Structure 1
Amino acid sequence: MTPFHALHHDGLLILPNAWDGGSAALMRAKGAKAIATTSAGVAWALGWPDGDALPVDRAVQVCVDVVRAAQGLPVSIDFEGGYSDDPAAVAAQAKRLVEAGAQGINIEDGGGTPELLASKIAAIRAAVGPDLFVNARCDVWLRGVGEPGTRVAEATRRGAIYQAAGADGLFTPGLTDAADIAAMVAATLLPLNLLAYPGLPDAKTLEALGVRRLSAGSGICGATWGRAAALTEGFLADGRSEPLGEGALGWGEVNALMPDAG
């Protein structure tokens, strides 16, 4: 078991989600035990929409940047749907992320079938071996699959398929109900990962329910975009300098977060 795997078996791992090397450096400095990326945040930072649109070469370079900034902390990359429906191509691309230093990936079923994601997971596992933590994202809540009362059973079914294919964790974003969370924990052998979402219980409650990982997703990045939008709008309207300094980190403070060259 790698150290990153071990973090999913002892209490609740809280993961902030970075979108570039700089945000990863900030999160490391603030005490994160590991760094994950947000596919939405990465895509937006590079001027692309979220949703398997980012060129793989750019995703790999972000991995290189985040690993460097994480300075030894485990890094998990949001791999979306693997940027292909061909399991062999997905596995080859996942191998590039491992070579760039990733210790984990998220890969999602999205609008595809569970069988397709299982094929991708199996191909990845065959290509890179056991050390990569493969977190299988099940989108039944995000996409509103079936009636609400059927979603725990469907997610459990998918989780079993993903586990058999070689997944190490199950990510069920959009799941917020405490009773459903407890049912998912009881029904799956994989560590359960949840997404910060309106209505989700706090970390202490989630840990007591048996959840093993909590991700910020695009939340921190989205809040940053909101603040930047408000500041930009105000500055364009009146050119005032004072609002730009409210709550801001100084140049020296931010610069000191960045790892030295070399």
Structure 2
Amino acid sequence: MEEFQQVAPVVSSLTDEKRVAFYKKTYTHLAMAVLLFVIVEWVFFQIEPLVNFAFSMTQGWRWMVMLGGFMLATNYAEKMAHKTHDINKQYLGLLLYVVAEAFIFIPLIGIAMMIAENGGANILNQAAILTLALFTGLSGVVLLTKKDFSFLKSILTIGFFIALGLIIAGLLFGFNLGLWFSVGMVVLASGSILYQTSNMVHKYSEDQYVGASLGLFASLMLLFWYILSILSND
């Protein structure tokens, strides 16, 4: 989980006007990150060698390499967005995170596109709608109640370590984690959305809207990944 370097009063201590302005900046940057993800994903799918390479990395131990590279890139991006006072580096961190997400999503989105092309449902749209609805509902709970969900940090940390261990074990021993794992990850991603939205309200300072948007984007994409995985395996 990210650390906070506050250089200004936390958002919860600001006037209503400044607090609303911070929320608007954060969610505007989140919307821009999602739009950029869609654009980068579209560009990636125009580059056939890149798509083939991404699919080849889903086989066996290569998937572990891909996951490791993704984790390194996203951890570095989070540090850039949260631990620097340079706004340009914060934006660069957010950009790096979006590009890394777009690359690792290539195989999953490719499978969803193939299902649609073969006469199946357009599960990409379904997954996007379900993700947006759940994200909006969970964010609304935090914003309306103003409850501090920071207590979820240790639960989420343990949950993610267990999930990572199961993923690695599945790759090493060749078993499918199945539907219930994806359902569990949806629950974990939902908890992460509550946690990140709570951080936006209670932990971040007024000038950390880029870092706040990155945290929300990460949780949103995790939720989208596992909802899309569930629909792809129906």
Q: Which has the higher helix share?
A: 2
Larger proportion of strand: 1
Give the TM-score, by structure 2 length.
Answer: 0.25
Which structure has more RCO (C-alpha within 8 Å, separation ≥ 6)? 2
Give the TM-score, by structure 1 length: 0.23
- Specify the structure having the higher radius of gyration (Cα): 1
